[in-house]
Chain A
Amino acid sequence: MTGMFAHDALLVSLFAVLFGAVIGTLGIRGHRQDWVQLAFGSVYANFVLVTIATLAMIYALVTHDYSVSYVAQVGSNETPLFYTVISLWGALEGSILFWAWVLGAYSTAVIWINRKRAGNLVPWAAVTLLVVALFFAILLVWPANPFHSVFPVPSDGPGPNPLLQNHILMAVHPPLLYLGYVGMSVPFAFAAGAMFSGEVASDDWIRISRTWTMIAWGFLSAAIIAGMWWSYEVLGWGGYWAWDPVENASFLPWLTATAYLHSVMVQERRGMLKLWNLNLMVGTFVLTILGTFLTRSGILSSVHAFTTGTIGYYFLTFIGIVLVWALAMVGGVSDKLKTRGHLESVTSRETVFLFNNLFLTAFMFTVLVGTLFPLVAEALRGVKVTVGQPFFDKMTLPLISALIFLVGVGPALPWGSASRDVLKRKLLPPIAGAVVMGAIGLAVGARNPYAVLIFAFVGYSAFANLREYWIGMKARHAAHGENWGLALTRLVGGNRRRYGGYVAHLGVLLVALGIAASQSFRREREATLEPGQSITVSGHTARLKEVWGRQEPQRAVIGATMEVVENGKVVATADPRMNFYPTQSAPVPTPQVISSISGDLYFNLMAFDQNGSHATVKLIVQPLVPWIWFGGGVVVLGAIIGVFPKRKRRTVPATARQPVPAVPLPLPTTGGGEA
């Protein structure tokens, strides 16, 4: 019942977006403002319809309505309510439904906010978003329909993938990822809108697209960190990043979006790099679709890939259309975006941004090539190869080091030009930070040159970014007599984007420090222990107290209680477990982490004896891992600060607040609207 009804809602939404895209295009071409309004209306209607379908799915999941195919696939009577609800995105069909919902929400928000803006930018953006929505609607109505009716109705289901119901972060990571991924459709839609409407050479639309890129970027940053955290807490090998194709897929658009958020400043300030920025924005969107394609089509094998059927061909068609569309569009307007560049000096922030963009692009390219290379090698050589962690580590470490260094140089250098004197004053003091951090790194035993370099560069850049705060606060303190707290608040409030950026920088440095330290100083040992025996790694001792088992409704659990012993006293306990799900032939390891500010003790139960007389436990000691999660939070905080508009300087184009004229506006003289 629910299934039929929800599928009808999706079918109607398919027609709504199709109708909206067509009527919108006709309306823009035929100067029919009322038709354009209908297109906006279909954006909202689509959101309402997909929301209904999504709620219906949640209802079906919660009520264990196994007549709905998706529920029969991921539901089970024993699964706790919380995991039942989040299994909405636990498998392919549900995740596409959720994706469509997020797209609908974004589209509705951005079109509603900008609905009164004059010109054809917003209508074209709406049409673009509708076309993207059309693809997902097609998927949902046909190949990925989650609402097939199942007959006879089973009385129970297999339950969600155990890996996905083993940790609370599964409730956080996928929605964040979708918010980040799908969010990149908005700037793309505005880029497309700008190209179609002929406004592409103006800078006005850049503001909208930049804001939405920053929102999506914040979500994507949070998603990547949450994904790392989830892998760390769930997969049991004590790492957080394995350069798996799916991880890479989430990272690629992050790199280009990061490059864009920097280089767009050069465009806003200097009117330069317009074509490059357009490329970055379109590229970011293409990479999100590519990422979805790689992870949902089953073309590359990955831990996280869903099993798929014919849906891959739909994705192939869609990515083909998107690629051709994007490239043709950018190619077509490229000669309009020729700008006359001007630099006062080579030693300026502009130049640093050029290098920042080069390194980020090279980083993206390296990861992309590494991810796709197995496919290329098989196509051209007929040999299966693997491109794994050692390759990515080796190739990206120099770029990462350089980027961390630039995080310090960029904010220190002024726009325009810097005299020798300014350069000395700005670039030399942070060396103190580099020396201190480098020395600390060496003192605690870092020997890998890149590790030492990254420690030093983190010190340099942290010094430089904090110093910018310090200089600003000191100036306010001196000029206005404000106390330090007020000075800080006003400083950040006065230029949120700039100081939000510096906050994000500090977050990135914390993440870098956490990764460098945990990679350099990771120590691990695996031992088979009898109760009472203990294992020692890097001065941390843990004793096996007991091996225990218990039956839970949806699974059986075997655990080993480990006591962390310091000076003969038990200071903490951990219960690494193995969870046995009836549908899985292999147990799902459930490691336990004891965190402190200085680092983690990571316990994983590797094996146990059936009579409980011994257990094999792996203990991994990794310093500073929690700094990665904390740093991720700081990055997101920076994005939040940066997204809020500056109240004082907020200027809205005069036309935007005027009522929409009933008679369509003439097309801009640049005439791109006819293209």
Chain B
Amino acid sequence: MRRRSRWAIAAPLVLLSLAAMPLRAQGSPPQTADTAGMSIHSATLSDSALDAETRGVASQLRCPICQGESLQDSPSELAGEMRNLVKTQLAQGKTPAEVKAYFVSKYGEWILLDPRAHGFNLVLYAAPYVLLVIGLGVIYVAVKRWSANGPAPEESQQEQH
């Protein structure tokens, strides 16, 4: 299977080792929430701006092995590795556009969840607005014409509101 995980083989091992595992929770010193959370995350969460930017880029890139999920949302390992790479590249000073361009050069335009607004893709962006404008025009003309009409002779009044 061309699928993510090494877990399939790990599972039986895990079950065996867990069966023999003492409960570690009691043995651990109680820690306050914040120190525990921060101690683990001090390295990665120190720069929340970088994290926010990473999230921004990762949510615009498609996870290659999942279908339609973004790198940000996918729990798959490849997506996790790609998120790390996004972060590394941003930390090295690349702009979000450059990071996205890197992924496009590796995986093709397909990896962009938000197609680039140029060339033929403009059709995609324009079509809804074209329909909306036509629709507004139709409503304008119809309302104007119908307002000018007198009441129809056999107008139905079956239901009061």
Interface residues of A, Cβ cutoff 8 Å to B: 203, 236-239, 242-245, 268-272, 301-303, 340-346, 351, 354-355, 358, 361-362, 365-366, 369-370, 373, 376-377, 380-381, 383-391, 394-395, 414-415, 495, 498, 525, 527-536, 541, 543-551, 556, 558, 565, 578, 580, 584-587, 589, 604, 606, 608, 610-613, 618
Whether A498 touches B161, Cβ cut-off 8 Å, given contacts A386-B111, A533-B31, is: yes
Contact in complex: B25, A531 (CB < 8 Å)? yes
Interface string of B50-94 (1 = CB under 8 A from A): 000000000110100011111001111000100000000000000
B158 interface neighbour in A269, A495, A606, Cβ under 8 Å: A269
> Can you list 30 pairs linking A and B with CB atoms under 8 Å apart?
A237-B74, A243-B68, A269-B156, A271-B154, A340-B152, A342-B146, A342-B150, A343-B147, A365-B128, A376-B123, A380-B120, A384-B108, A386-B111, A389-B70, A389-B113, A390-B60, A391-B114, A531-B25, A533-B37, A534-B33, A535-B36, A536-B33, A541-B33, A547-B18, A549-B14, A556-B11, A585-B4, A587-B11, A610-B13, A610-B17
B29: chain A residues within 8 A (beta carbon): 532
**Which of A361, A414, A586, A611 is most buried by chain B, counting CB atoms within 10 A of its CB?**
A586
Interface string of B114-137 (1 = CB under 8 A from A): 110000110111011001100110
**Interface status of B10 (Cβ within 8 A of chain A):** yes
Name the distance in Å between A426's Cβ and chain B's nearest Cβ.
13
| A580 to B18 Cα, complex, angstroms | 15
**Interface status of B28 (Cβ within 8 A of chain A):** yes
Q: A391-B113, A525-B37, A525-B45 are in contact. List 6 more A-B contacts (CB 8 A).
A: A271-B155, A343-B146, A351-B143, A354-B139, A358-B136, A384-B109
B147: chain A residues within 8 A (beta carbon): 343-346
**Which of B3, B8, B74 is most buried by chain A, counting CB atoms within 10 A of its CB?**
B8
A556 interface neighbour in B15, B45, B110, B135, Cβ under 8 Å: B15
Instruction: Give me the 10 closest cross-chain CB pairs, A-B, nearest first.
Output: A388-B113, A532-B28, A541-B33, A341-B146, A390-B114, A549-B18, A531-B25, A237-B73, A533-B36, A580-B11
Name the distance in Å between A463's Cβ and chain B's nearest Cβ.
20
| A584 to B1 Cα, complex, angstroms | 9
| A343 to B21 Cα, complex, angstroms | 78
| A613 to B7 Cα, complex, angstroms | 16
Name the distance in Å between A499's Cβ and chain B's nearest Cβ.
11
**Nearest-CB residue, chain B, relative to A555:** B11
Name the distance in Å between A155's Cβ and chain B's nearest Cβ.
22
A531: chain B residues within 8 A (beta carbon): 23-25, 28
| A612 to B154 Cα, complex, angstroms | 79
A610: chain B residues within 8 A (beta carbon): 10, 13-14, 17
B76: chain A residues within 8 A (beta carbon): 586
B112 interface neighbour in A242, A385, A394, A585, Cβ under 8 Å: A385
**Nearest-CB residue, chain A, relative to B149:** A342
**Interface status of B49 (Cβ within 8 A of chain A):** no
Contact in complex: A385, B109 (CB < 8 Å)? yes
A385: chain B residues within 8 A (beta carbon): 109-110, 112, 115, 121
Contact in complex: B67, A303 (CB < 8 Å)? yes
Contact in complex: B68, A369 (CB < 8 Å)? no
Name the distance in Å between B138's Cβ and chain A's nearest Cβ.
8
Contact in complex: B5, A586 (CB < 8 Å)? yes
Name the distance in Å between B150's Cβ and chain A's nearest Cβ.
7
B143 interface neighbour in A268, A354, A541, A545, Cβ under 8 Å: A354
| A590 to B86 Cα, complex, angstroms | 27
Name the distance in Å between A144's Cβ and chain B's nearest Cβ.
23
Contact in complex: A242, B69 (CB < 8 Å)? yes
Contact in complex: A527, B41 (CB < 8 Å)? yes
Interface residues of B, Cβ cutoff 8 Å to A: 1, 3-5, 7-8, 10-15, 17-19, 21, 23-25, 27-34, 36-37, 39-41, 45, 59-60, 62, 66-70, 73-76, 80, 108-115, 120-121, 123-125, 127-128, 131-132, 135-136, 139, 142-143, 145-147, 149-152, 154-159, 161
**Nearest-CB residue, chain B, relative to A551:** B15
| Count of CB-CB pairs between chains A and B under 8 Å | 242
Name the distance in Å between A289's Cβ and chain B's nearest Cβ.
22
Contact in complex: B139, A534 (CB < 8 Å)? no
Contact in complex: B73, A242 (CB < 8 Å)? yes
| A383 to B120 Cα, complex, angstroms | 11
Contact in complex: B68, A242 (CB < 8 Å)? yes
Contact in complex: A268, B159 (CB < 8 Å)? yes
| A545 to B11 Cα, complex, angstroms | 20
Contact in complex: B12, A556 (CB < 8 Å)? yes
| A195 to B73 Cα, complex, angstroms | 48
| A302 to B68 Cα, complex, angstroms | 7
**Which of A355, A362, A373, A556 is most buried by chain B, counting CB atoms within 10 A of its CB?**
A362
Name the distance in Å between A573's Cβ and chain B's nearest Cβ.
12
Contact in complex: A369, B5 (CB < 8 Å)? no
Whether A533 touches B5, Cβ cut-off 8 Å, given contacts A239-B73, A358-B132, is: no
**Which of A243, A345, A377, A384 is most buried by chain B, counting CB atoms within 10 A of its CB?**
A377
A236: chain B residues within 8 A (beta carbon): 75
Contact in complex: A585, B157 (CB < 8 Å)? no
A548: chain B residues within 8 A (beta carbon): 18
Contact in complex: B152, A271 (CB < 8 Å)? yes
**Nearest-CB residue, chain A, relative to B153:** A340
| A479 to B92 Cα, complex, angstroms | 74
Name the distance in Å between B144's Cβ and chain A's nearest Cβ.
9
| A448 to B5 Cα, complex, angstroms | 38
**Nearest-CB residue, chain B, relative to A207:** B158
| A536 to B31 Cα, complex, angstroms | 12
A532: chain B residues within 8 A (beta carbon): 24-25, 27-31, 36
| A644 to B98 Cα, complex, angstroms | 59
B7 interface neighbour in A394, A415, A534, A586, Cβ under 8 Å: A586
Whether A546 touches B23, Cβ cut-off 8 Å, given contacts A365-B131, A388-B68, A532-B28, is: yes
Contact in complex: B17, A358 (CB < 8 Å)? no
| A345 to B14 Cα, complex, angstroms | 73
Contact in complex: B152, A536 (CB < 8 Å)? no
| A385 to B34 Cα, complex, angstroms | 43
A578: chain B residues within 8 A (beta carbon): 7
| A527 to B42 Cα, complex, angstroms | 11
| A565 to B34 Cα, complex, angstroms | 12
| A270 to B159 Cα, complex, angstroms | 10
Name the distance in Å between A586's Cβ and chain B's nearest Cβ.
4
Contact in complex: A536, B131 (CB < 8 Å)? no
Contact in complex: A495, B75 (CB < 8 Å)? no
| A215 to B39 Cα, complex, angstroms | 55
Contact in complex: A384, B110 (CB < 8 Å)? yes
**Which of A344, A391, A618 is most buried by chain B, counting CB atoms within 10 A of its CB?**
A391
